[in-house]
């Protein structure tokens, strides 16, 4: 498809890189010539210097023949106007990044009147993901599918788990009382592995486990993990993510403290979040953190605008609390370094937003087929978890999985049918309107039929 991205910040450039890898024709628009020169040196994309709201600039980008316009500038208002102008000039579909909480209650009106087809809010999406991670504090990440019925939990094997150093096919023979879950992906030394029955998990591996929510909780409870979730959260940085997260946590009854250095931000947060404790101070000040109860905190989340501050605060907290530590970092190159330092839970708003937009683009690319409902990037982008809802008439429906031709690097992880969650085996089938979750090392999949078919 022909795609225009307006705004070459972190999100715009990462999106361009991913979309180009998926064989889309990408044009980048930005006012900053230096940013465009960097894009030209690193990406196979057309670049245009100009204002994405300008009709002349959009016409130069051939807006009339464009399938999707994605507005990712730092200004919500510019993104909205860009989508409006693009639609009036002939663009088929528009996506806008809108982040300000003030627009949240009027989004329906805004999208209708300004011809915006889809809105992505990286901060709100990040807050939702963090709130899920706090449900199981021992997990590095938790992803949800089938409208929350299915969870995929990432943990690092310590060597004490019953599934370590035993072929997966023998696990339930030896531990018959364990609730049945699916081991759907493994990360070992940075390499993505989709395990088969004879695979053996080693200490230090990252393990992705999937099942319905009650079974996941029961599985980890049987292993002695605390599945009660956190009761309090200390947040450093009064960002938009902190605002959205505090709302979610307060609704769940979690006691929330936010430390923000800027007086005007702290004052605004105290006015908007009546049930949260707002402290005006430096969140990297070790004495302040200790005096506010860091040692006893069940969770500590760093959400400042500077990745370096988040890193330093997160490292300090990991040494002074046994609680869950979550660090925000938009630099994907930092992820492995941070994990080597013992910081397992790294959150990237840019990556989260890109996954949402990519899912939307793939759905548009396959509007007449089985489209992607949810998508998560796993193991540094080396694998993906995708959810599809097959439509009637697909060639693979009603045929036992063992009789289907499924690509080697693809695993059918979970099937949800009429609200019932099924971990599938060879005799199970896929039916129309199922929610089907697959794990794959193949990138750019837009249709379930691309990787599953008749023999």
In sequence order, the β-bridge partners of residue 69 are 4, 94
Cα-flanking dihedrals φ and ψ of residue 288, to 5°? -65, -45
What residue ranges define each of the domains in the chain, with the CATH number in brackets? 2-120 (3.40.50.720), 132-222 (3.30.70.1450), 232-322 (3.40.50.720), 362-454 (3.30.70.1450)
Residue 55's CB is within 10 A of a number of other CB atoms, namely 13
- Give the number of other CB atoms < 10 A from CB of residue 275: 12
Q: Which of 207-211, 304-308, 370-374, 440-444 has the lowest mean pLDDT?
A: 370-374
Show the DSSP H helices in 175-306 as ranges. Answer: 213-222, 240-251, 263-272, 286-291
- pLDDT value of position 226: 86
pLDDT > 70? residue 181: yes
Is pLDDT above 90 for 335? no
Show the tokens assigned to 303: 């959400």
pLDDT value, residue 61: 97
Secondary structure E strands in 84-204:
93-97, 118-120, 141-145, 150-156, 182-188, 191-193
- How deeply is 437 buried, as exposed, middle or buried, from its count of CB atoms within 10 A (0-12, 13-18, 19+)? buried
Q: What is the pLDDT of residue 162?
A: 95
How far is Cα 114 from Cα 455, in angstroms, rounded to an integer?
A: 48
For 41-55, write each residue's pLDDT tens digit.
Answer: 999 999 999 999 999
For residue 452, what is the DSSP state? E
Query: Which segments within 22-86 are labelled E, that is strand?
Result: 25-30, 46-49, 68-71
Question: Which of 22-36, 101-115, 149-163, 328-342 is predicted with the least confidence, judged by mean pLDDT?
Answer: 328-342
Supply the DSSP string of 347-358, one letter for each residue: E-HHHHHHHHHH
- For residue 353, the tally of other CB atoms under 10 A from its CB is 23
Evaluated on CA atoms 49, 55, 56, 59, the torsion sign reads positive
Tell how far CA 414 is from the center of its chain: 19
Report the Cα 164 to chain-centroid distance in Å. 27
Q: What is the pLDDT of residue 168?
A: 95
Q: Are 183 and 209 in contact (CB under 8 A)?
A: yes
* pLDDT at 179 exceeding the cut of 90: yes
Show Cβ contacts of residue 176 under 8 Å, excluding neighbours closer than 6 positions. Answer: none
Share of the chain above pLDDT 70, in %: 98
Per the prediction, the chain carries an average pLDDT of 93
Grade residue 314 by pLDDT with cuts at 50, 70 and 90: very high
Full strand arrangement of the beta sheet holding 345-347? 277-280, 255-260, 232-236, 299-302, 324-328, 345-347
Q: How far apart (Å, rounded) are the C-alpha atoms in residues 95 and 116? A: 6
For residue 339, pLDDT beyond 70 = no
Residue 301 reports pLDDT greater than 80: yes
Q: Are 48 and 16 in contact (CB under 8 A)?
A: no
Q: Which segments of 314-382 are extended strands (E)?
A: 324-328, 345-347, 372-378
Tell me how far apart the alpha carbons of residues 431 and 434 are, in angstroms, rounded to a whole number. 6
**What are the φ and ψ backbone dihedral angles of 299, each rounded to 5 degrees?**
-155, 145
On the CB side of 121, how many CA atoms lie within 13 Å of its CA? 17
Contact 209, 155 (CB under 8 A): yes
CA distances to 82, 109, 234, 275, 301 from 258, in Å? 35, 32, 6, 11, 9
User: What are 239-286's pLDDT values in tens digits?
Assistant: 999 999 999 999 999 999 999 999 999 999 999 999 999 999 999 999
Q: Is the predicted pLDDT of residue 340 greater than 70, yes or no?
A: no
Residue 332 has pLDDT above 70, yes or no: no
Sign of the torsion angle spanned by Cα atoms 112, 354, 448, 424: negative
For residues 242 and 300, the answer to whether their CB atoms sit within 8 Å is no
- Other CB atoms within 10 Å distance of the CB of residue 169: 11
SS (H, E, C) 389-417: CCCCCCCCCCCCHHHEEECCCEEEEEEEE
Most confident among 120-124, 223-227, 282-286 (mean pLDDT): 120-124
Burial of 333 (0-12, 13-18, 19+ CB in 10 A): exposed
């Amino acid at each position: 498809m022909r795609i225009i991205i307006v705004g070459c910040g972190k999100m715009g450039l990462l999106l361009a890189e991913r979309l180009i890898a998926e064989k889309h024709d990408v044009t980048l628009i930005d006012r900053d010539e230096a940013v465009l020169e960097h894009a030209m040196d690193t990406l196979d994309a057309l670049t245009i210097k100009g204002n994405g709201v300008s009709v002349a600039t959009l016409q130069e980008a051939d807006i009339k023949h464009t399938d999707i316009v994605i507005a990712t500038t730092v200004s919500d208002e510019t993104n909205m106007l860009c989508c409006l102008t693009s639609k009036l000039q002939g663009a088929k579909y528009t996506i806008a990044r809108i982040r300000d909480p003030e627009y949240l209650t009027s989004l329906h009106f805004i999208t209708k009147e300004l011809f915006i087809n889809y809105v992505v809010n990286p901060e709100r999406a990040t807050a939702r993901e963090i709130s899920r991670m706090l449900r199981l504090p021992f997990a590095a990440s938790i992803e949800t599918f089938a409208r929350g019925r299915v969870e995929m939990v990432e943990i690092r094997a310590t060597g004490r788990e019953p599934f370590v150093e035993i072929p997966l096919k023998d696990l339930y023979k030896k531990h018959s009382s364990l609730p049945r879950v699916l081991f759907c992906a493994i990360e070992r030394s940075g390499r993505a592995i989709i395990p088969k029955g004879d695979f053996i998990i080693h200490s230090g591996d990252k393990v992705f486990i999937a099942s319905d929510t009650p079974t996941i909780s029961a599985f980890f409870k049987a292993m002695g993990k605390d599945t009660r979730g956190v009761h309090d959260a200390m947040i450093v940085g009064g960002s938009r993510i902190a605002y959205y997260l505090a709302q979610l946590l307060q609704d769940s009854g979690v006691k929330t403290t936010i430390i923000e250095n800027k007086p005007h931000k702290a004052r605004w947060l105290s006015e908007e979040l009546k049930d949260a404790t707002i402290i005006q101070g430096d969140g990297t000040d070790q004495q302040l953190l200790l005096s506010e109860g860091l040692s006893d905190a069940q969770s500590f989340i760093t959400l400042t605008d500077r990745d370096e501050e988040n890193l330093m605060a997160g490292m300090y907290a990991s040494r002074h609390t046994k609680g869950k530590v979550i660090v925000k970092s938009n630099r994907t190159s930092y992820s492995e370094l941070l994990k080597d330092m013992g910081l397992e839970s790294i959150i990237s708003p840019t990556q989260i937003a890109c996954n949402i937009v990519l899912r939307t683009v793939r759905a548009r690319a396959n509007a007449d087929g089985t489209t992607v409902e949810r998508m998560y990037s796993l193991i540094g982008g080396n694998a993906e978890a995708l959810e599809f809802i097959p439509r009637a008439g697909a060639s693979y429906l009603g045929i036992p999985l063992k009789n289907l031709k499924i690509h080697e690097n693809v695993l059918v992880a979970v099937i949800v049918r009429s609200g019932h969650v099924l971990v599938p085996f060879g005799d199970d089938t896929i039916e129309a309107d199922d929610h089907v979750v697959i794990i794959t090392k193949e990138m750019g999949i837009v249709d379930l039929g691309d990787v599953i078919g008749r023999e």
